[in-house]
Structure 1
Amino acid sequence: MLAATCLTATPAAAQDAGIEERLDRLEALVASLLERMDAEQGRMDARQAETLAATEQALAETRALQERQVQLAAQIDEPKKQEDKGFRVGNTTIAYAGYVKLDAISQRTSGGQVGTGSIVRDFLIPGAIPVGGPASGWDSDFSARQSRLIFKTATDVGNGHELNSQIELDFMVTPGGDERVSNSYQPRLRQAFITYDNWLFGQTWSTFQNVGALPESLDFVGTTPGTVFERQPMIRYTRGGLMIAAEQAETTVTAPGGARVLAGDDTLPDFVLRYNLARDWGSFSAAGIVRNLRITDDDFGTGTDSALGYGVSLSGKVKLGDKDDLRFMGTVGDGLGRYIGLNIVNDAALDLDGDLDPIFTYSGFAAYRHVWSDKWRSTIAGSYFKADNPVLLTGGTVTDESWNVLANLIFSPVRPVDIGIEYMYAERSLENGLSGNLQKIQVSTKYSF
């Protein structure tokens, strides 16, 4: 029995040993599989890390490219602040603008012939309309002298300050031209000024004049009899809609007999206060001026005298619908002569005691602009001027009143080009009752750049 038991137990023990051996091999296999899986996971993590790094690098490069594009766009846009054109030199952006314009003008006058080469044949000067002579025929002239050049600069001076300048030239009312050979004309200075933040120093449009209210006309000014029109040196301060300026003074005097004298004895500037209001419906400006009119003994030999000049001008532009507008100006005052209508009358007259008597005037214009389509537009306008001359001092040959009307049609085949035709009628009356008129047909082509 013992032997049988031993024989029976031996196979069982061997069987258990075999199972344990297989379990060990299985465990080793599992461990090897796990090791290979861990290695593969490590390689996958490494590839993912490489992919992530490559993605981040690509994103960084994309962001850098976008930043360079933004910087480039800013460099391209910066000159656009200066009339969409310009280039940079150091911290200064230099830009240019202007236009080339050809005027073909045919006009006739009822009260006398306007001589060839006279500026009265280039644009309307109300105080120079001939009076009292025989009527002229239709006189025609071609000219490109209104063409204009504008140069601007903007300098980055840091600390949030703005430093700019502008110089503007054209060829109007200058000598040198002829209609025989060359038609050459000398350039003239229109504007030259510096601006630093809110301050302006230099020559530009008078603060008493609202350029934004001027109507669109082919004539150089258009509604000249009723328009404040003056460019001169000044110091101006602007804050929001408020403008305060001290501007060049110049007293124009009517001497006994009607002659114009420029005294040149002014000691105080002309002071101007103006407020501008801009709203969705349009814009409005109110301006006031105070002047010290002055002469001294060396002008007339009658001693030194001064007088107060003053005036108010209201002007603006009212939108009518999406594109049309109404523009207007009304001015009244004493001693404003040289500011109105290209100096139609003088600031003051000299009495027998050598004292200045300021001349009271009132004037104004209205203009309606209608846009027919994207390429066609028209303006109709009228203006009026009246002077209260002291006739006993000025005589009867000075201008009493002047007025004009105009209508035009302008075609723009492409955005920077205007081609237009305009008809104008203007009239001037003297204190002695004589009058004369001017009729003008003008065709113009202008390319703005």
Structure 2
Amino acid sequence: MQSNKLRMAIRATAAVAVFGVAGQASAVSFSAGDYDVSVYGYGRLNASYDFDANVANSTRSAAFDRLENAAGANAQNDDITGHFGADAFQSRLGFKTTSPEGVNVTVEGDFRGGGGGSLRLRHAFGEYNGVLMGQTWSNFNSFVGNTSTLDFDSLPGLAGLQGRVAQARYTTGPMSFSLEQPSFSVLNGPDERNSLPTFTARMEDSQGGLSYSAALLANQVTVDNGADDDSAVGFATFVAAKMALTDMITIQGTLTYTDGANDYLYRSGENFGAASAYVNGNSIETISGYGGSVGAGVNLGGGRSINIGYGYVEVDWDDAESDLGAAAVAGQSESNQAIMANYQWTPVRNVMMGVEYQFIKRENVDGTDSDANRLLFAAQYNF
């Protein structure tokens, strides 16, 4: 019984990730000839109040690169407090079809593109007999250990790349393997070149009262200015787990380690990914990092829940500082962290409202730091 309840909790977490609501997602389904078609989506209002610096991005998510610090990263906000904003950019529309032969096709978008207000492609892929081609969640990703947050970008240190990439993937049982569009940046290097796809392998399963996931990733980081070029192999790994302690309470967490693959260390660097490497003379050197998150969810019944979570990431700039000098890395973000607590309420099916408190903090390599306190409100209507 506990295992079944845990599986339902995991499915609910996946629904949060895909549909952005703590509750059962729905769709308008119909048949068109021999095809089964579903249309789904939601309209959503996000609102934020920043007590300190204005750190809100589109969808009112917290942005670490907007935090004030002594190095002047966000000087326009100095000595200004109290910022309110609201938008509906997270609103979403998607289509799914299943052919008579069992071919599944999904196309989905939202309105976060171009800084907010423009249609953005989220998912566009086909799937048949375990073979997936197109753009969707990276295979180096899991929602198993995620805590439900109202902030669209959520906590630092979640498992893997919490984003969507073009890929070819094969899934068999609990195992999945993919070749994906690579993602990396190099500090002070010549032009970056994608020389090979990123390879990933992931296992995700449940047993007894535990659901878990683990993954590995390997990529090649290459720089090339036409005359000189060099490359290095980067790798990353994560583990994630969720456990139902009682019918009401779940705990969950994630751990990630990267070396030469910091784009896959979620919410590191300025906001989403730190540099994966740097160039020292004619040699490319990798940069490592680690992070994690922990959280708990309490189901209060009657469509009400409380969720609390903490996330932390840190990037190791010591070698780069030694090789390049302190000035070259002084303003780089060394650590990002966030604490969130929210109350969510589903008064009727397909409607969710919630309020969330956030505290975020950034510390740079030179020791300067800044933090911010925020309140979020969200209202979402699914179809």
Measured against the shorter chain, the TM-score band is 0.7 to 0.9
Aligned pairs (5 A) from 1:355-366? 355-366=283-294
Secondary structure of 2:144 counterpart = helix
Asked if the contact 1:399–1:430 (Cα under 8 Å) also holds between the matched residues in 2, the reply is: yes
Give the whole-Å Cα distance in 1 for the aligned partners of 2:250 and 2:137.
23
Residue 127 of structure 1: how far off its partner (Å)? 4.1
**Match status 1:427 vs 2:361:** yes
Determine the structure 2 residue equivalent to 1:95: 38
Aligned pairs (5 A) from 1:163-242? 163-175=103-115, 185-228=117-160, 229-242=162-175
Paired residue total: 342
Give the whole-Å Cα distance in 2 for the aligned partners of 1:140 and 1:293.
41
Which of 53, 68, 80 is the aligned partner of 1:136? Answer: 80
Asked if the contact 1:367–1:380 (Cα under 8 Å) also holds between the matched residues in 2, the reply is: yes
Asked if the contact 1:123–1:221 (Cα under 8 Å) also holds between the matched residues in 2, the reply is: yes
Q: TM-score, normalised by structure 2?
A: 0.84
Secondary structure of 1:249 counterpart = coil
Determine the structure 2 residue equivalent to 1:16: none
Asked if the contact 2:157–2:256 (Cα under 8 Å) also holds between the matched residues in 1, the reply is: no
Asked if the contact 2:308–2:342 (Cα under 8 Å) also holds between the matched residues in 1, the reply is: yes
Give the whole-Å Cα distance in 2 for the aligned partners of 1:225 and 1:244.
22
**Match status 1:446 vs 2:380:** yes
Listed as ranges, the gaps of 5+ residues in structure 1 are 1-81, 178-184
Asked if the contact 2:38–2:97 (Cα under 8 Å) also holds between the matched residues in 1, the reply is: yes
Structure 2 vs 1, CA of residues 95 and 402 (structure 1 numbering), >3 Å: closer, same or farther?
same
Secondary structure of 1:201 counterpart = strand
Residue 440 of structure 1: how far off its partner (Å)? 1.1
Listed as ranges, the gaps of 5+ residues in structure 2 are 1-24
Q: TM-score, normalised by structure 1?
A: 0.72
**TM-superposition CA deviations, 1:349-408 (whole Å, max 9, x none):** 121x13221110000001100011222101000001011012243421101111110100
Which of 293, 313, 316 is the aligned partner of 2:241? Answer: 316
Asked if the contact 1:423–1:440 (Cα under 8 Å) also holds between the matched residues in 2, the reply is: yes
**TM-superposition CA deviations, 1:266-298 (whole Å, max 9, x none):** 121110011111224131001001111111124
Determine the structure 2 residue equivalent to 1:348: 277
Determine the structure 1 residue equivalent to 2:96: 152
Asked if the contact 2:187–2:278 (Cα under 8 Å) also holds between the matched residues in 1, the reply is: yes
Q: Whose helix proportion is higher, 1 or 2?
A: 1
Which of 300, 310, 320 is the aligned partner of 1:382? Answer: 310
The runs of 4+ residues in structure 1 deviating greater than 4 Å are none
Give the whole-Å Cα distance in 2 for the aligned partners of 1:151 and 1:212.
25
Give the whole-Å Cα distance in 2 for the aligned partners of 1:121 and 1:205.
19
Q: Whose strand proportion is higher, 1 or 2?
A: 2
Determine the structure 1 residue equivalent to 2:370: 436
Aligned pairs (5 A) from 1:394-405? 394-405=328-339
Asked if the contact 1:126–1:344 (Cα under 8 Å) also holds between the matched residues in 2, the reply is: no
| Amino acid corresponding to residue 339 of structure 2 in structure 1 | V
Structure showing greater Rg: 1
Determine the structure 1 residue equivalent to 2:20: none
**TM-superposition CA deviations, 1:94-119 (whole Å, max 9, x none):** 11112111111111445xx55xxx72
RCO higher in 1 or 2 (8 Å CA, sep ≥ 6)? Answer: 2
Secondary structure of 2:254 counterpart = strand
